[in-house]
Amino acid sequence: MKRDRIEEIAELLDKRGKLTLEQLDEQFPNVSQMTLRRDLFQLEQEGRIIRVRGGAMSVKEVQKVSGEPYTKKTTIHTDEKIEIAQKAASLIDENSSLFMDGGTTAMYLAKELPDKNLHIFTNGLAVAIELAQKKNINVTMLGGQVMTENLSTASPVAKAYFDNTNFELAIISASAFTPDNGFSCGSQIEADLLKLARGKAKSTYMMLDSSKIGKIMPYTFAHIEDIDVLITDENFPADLKEKFTEKNIVVM
Amino acid sequence: MKRDRIEEIAELLDKRGKLTLEQLDEQFPNVSQMTLRRDLFQLEQEGRIIRVRGGAMSVKEVQKVSGEPYTKKTTIHTDEKIEIAQKAASLIDENSSLFMDGGTTAMYLAKELPDKNLHIFTNGLAVAIELAQKKNINVTMLGGQVMTENLSTASPVAKAYFDNTNFELAIISASAFTPDNGFSCGSQIEADLLKLARGKAKSTYMMLDSSKIGKIMPYTFAHIEDIDVLITDENFPADLKEKFTEKNIVVM
DNA sequence: CGCTTCTATGTAAAATTCTAACATAAAACT
DNA sequence: AGTTTTATGTTAGAATTTTACATAGAAGCG
């Protein structure tokens, strides 16, 4: 009873990184706030979380905060990214085969994905590890040189790799977007890879949190009409949305 | 002025691990508590500390509490593996190119390796992430299906990968060893991969902790005479050692 | 130099969160 | 059944943090 709840809290914290007591209260309406406090206290004793004013954060999250550009990015716009990841997770059918990139949004998606029978290709090291925790998900890692800043691989020979593989869906995310320049990222080979994945898949879902809008990065890998579904957060501007819907692209 | 104080606070936190506002107040009697609060707030924004009720703690301190990030199962024969990893690390020359596997011993080696100019190929996800933390190490991840149990990849197409790459040294480890059956592991494709790596490299160093001796796993990937150096711990039996040295294999 | 503007800091009240203490309920034990 | 232990709820009060406003000094500028 108690232990179950505590483990559930720990898991939640692992996923979300940080939780307020209010959020916990919503998740566990049948116990009092005081009980949740005591649970957090115990988890703190066990060294598994850090209590901060208002709630608690997972140790992993803290470790991330400390790191490099990659890790700094993950702490920003967390809520939006979780929102997007949850939407994306709900779109994925059992027994399907898909490609995911290695970005931070993909990382949240990996965490939110239920343990369904899936075959997932990815170029993200952290994403692959996260997915590998789930019994029913079959993960294939794309090889290549490891890019330190985002813990992803990219390789000019990826094409050869893709030749023998099939997936229905590519779920990818961009570092920047404008209507004119499309979806772009900061690395040439990464852009190539994403383009390849997009071409290989029957459909492409793009995850884009609204903070990326208006920014431009050096390498464009997709334009508006190249995608089938845009998954974004509620701050997505209405006028932009129209640009997608008029091309029959679902925005959600 | 302000920046100096903030840096001083950061340093203090790094040393002490944790500080209350009261303690800070004592250290900086000439500014108000509110100012110190604001300093802590800023440091938190910069991702350098964690504010907790009553004060703040350094990120390092948090990490200490948590222990190992990955691979919880590595509690077995840790000391021996670290010993082996340190020996192996001392054998690696700057500016060389090598292959490492994805096992737990390799993980320790990744941690022990100095941040020298190296190019490393690996099929271990956790190993790749660990290595990627080091600025001067260039990491290439081998692609393939992710094996959940050891977070490594293996793929029948690895051969194609190796065709365009070169490395002088393969540092690998085995799950089991007997003089008759040689070095073996539990997965067919992993054995194939290790065999390939061995064939590609000019020399092969085998890391083997003594607990592996006398065990047999299904797939042999090397025999005694296939390796150049055996790196082991001090419990390695003397009679076995002779079997290696009489074939001119260095045992250390 | 006098003026404005911006930044850093101080003060104190208000808001929030946490702790402590006691009460009750449920579970475990004998 | 009765006793002890453990888990939980409730509340008041303590501690901490935030907010809002005030002030002083630094920086910029004609």
Q: What structural domains does chain A harbor?
A: 2-66 (1.10.10.10), 69-251 (3.40.50.1360)
Q: Does residue A248 have a pLDDT over 70?
A: yes
Q: What is the mean pLDDT of residues B15-35?
A: 83
More confident residue, B149 or B220: B220
Check if the beta carbon of residue B106 is closer than 8 Å to that of residue B100.
yes
Q: Which two tokens stand for residue A69?
A: 């550009």
Which of these, B37, B145, B73, lies nearest to A140 by C-alpha position?
B145
Sheet containing B176-178, strands listed edge to edge, beginning at the edge strand earlier in sequence: B176-178, B182-185, B219-222
For residue B62, the chain A residues in CB contact (below 8 A) are: 50, 59, 62-63
For A45, which residue in chain B has the nearest alpha carbon?
A: B65
pLDDT bin (cut points 50, 70, 90) of residue A141 is: very high
For A19-65, the pLDDT digits (tens) are 888 888 888 888 888 889 988 888 887 778 888 888 898 876 665 54
A65 and B57 within 8 Å at the Cβ level: the answer is no
Q: Which of B141, B157, B164 sits opposite A146 (nearest CB)?
A: B141
**How far is Cα B44 from Cα B67, in angstroms, rounded to an integer?**
22
- Decide: B84 and B232 in contact? Cβ < 8 Å: yes
B38 touches chain A (CB under 8 A): no
Return the DSSP state at B124: B
Closest CA to B63 of A65, A127, A133: A65
Taking the stretch 123-152 of protein chain B, residues with Cβ within 7 Å of any atom in nucleic acid chain D are none
Q: Which tops the pLDDT comparison, B7 or A47?
A: B7
Which segment of A159-168, A186-195, B239-248 scores lowest on mean pLDDT? A159-168
Residues 193-222 of A with CB under 8 A from B: none
Cα(A74)–Cα(A77) distance, rounded to whole angstroms? 8
| Per-residue confidence (pLDDT) for residue B9, from 0 to 100 | 84
- Which residues are B57's β-sheet partners? B18, B50
B68: pLDDT strictly greater than 60: no
Structure tokens at A46: 């066990």
Residue to test with chain B: of A45, A62, A136, most B Cβ within 10 A? A62
- At A170 the pLDDT is 96
Two tokens at B77?
């024969």
pLDDT at position A76 is 55
In angstroms, what CA-CA distances link B251 with A241, B50, B242?
67, 47, 9
Highest mean pLDDT: which range of A129-138, A201-210, B59-68, B72-81: A201-210
- Least Cα distance to A24 among A60, A52, A59 occurs for A52
Confidence check: pLDDT of A202 > 90: yes
Q: What is the mean pLDDT of residues A152-159?
A: 81
Give the residue-averaged pLDDT of A190-203.
92
Overall average pLDDT of the A113-140 stretch: 91
Q: pTM for the complete prediction?
A: 0.71
Residues in chain A: 252
pLDDT given for residue A203 in this prediction: 95
Q: Name the residue among A53, A59, A143 with its Cβ closest to that of B53.
A: A53
- Angle between the B104-112 and B78-90 helix axes, to the nearest 10 degrees? 50
- Does residue A38 reach within 7 angstroms of strand D, measured from its CB? yes
Choice between B117 and B69, residue whose per-residue pLDDT is larger: B117
- Residue B252 above 60 pLDDT? yes
**Would you call B148 an interface residue with chain A, using a CB distance cutoff of 8 Å?**
yes
> Does the CB of A143 have a partner CB in chain B at under 8 Å?
yes
Nearest residue on chain A to B159, alpha-carbon basis? A161
pLDDT of residue B122: 94
pLDDT tens figures, A215-232: 888 889 999 999 999 999
B72 has a pLDDT exceeding 60? no
CA A68 to chain centre: 18
The verdict on B128 touching A (C-beta cutoff 8 Å) is yes
Nucleotides of strand C within 7 Å of the protein's CB atoms: 7-12, 16-21
Render pLDDT for B128-187 as a digit per residue (tens, 0 to 9): 998 998 889 999 999 888 988 788 998 877 777 787 788 999 999 998 888 888 999 888
Sign of the CA dihedral A231, A235, A236, A242? positive
Chain B CB contacts of A53 below 8 Å: 51-53
pLDDT recorded at residue A74: 39
In DSSP notation, A121-179 reads EESBHHHHHHHHTSTTEEEEEPPEEEETTTTEEE-TTHHHHHHT---SEEEEE-SEEET
Gyration radius of chain B's alpha carbons: 23
Q: Residue B3 CB closer than 7 angstroms to strand D?
A: no
pLDDT at B221: 94
d(CA B10, CA A242): 48
First to last CA, chain A: 38
Place of tokens 């997770």: A89
Closest CA to B126 of A176, A146, A208, A177: A146
Written as one letter, the residue type at A194 is L
Q: Is B141 on the interface with A (CB under 8 A)?
A: yes
User: A10 touching B, CB under 8 A?
Assistant: no
| B121 contacts in chain A (CB < 8 Å) | none
Residues 6+ apart with CB under 8 A from A227: A183, A198, A204, A205, A206, A249
Q: Which of A1-10, B98-107, B121-130 has the lowest mean pLDDT?
A: A1-10
- Say what the pLDDT of residue B62 is: 60
Q: How far apart are CA B210 and CA B207, in angstroms?
A: 10
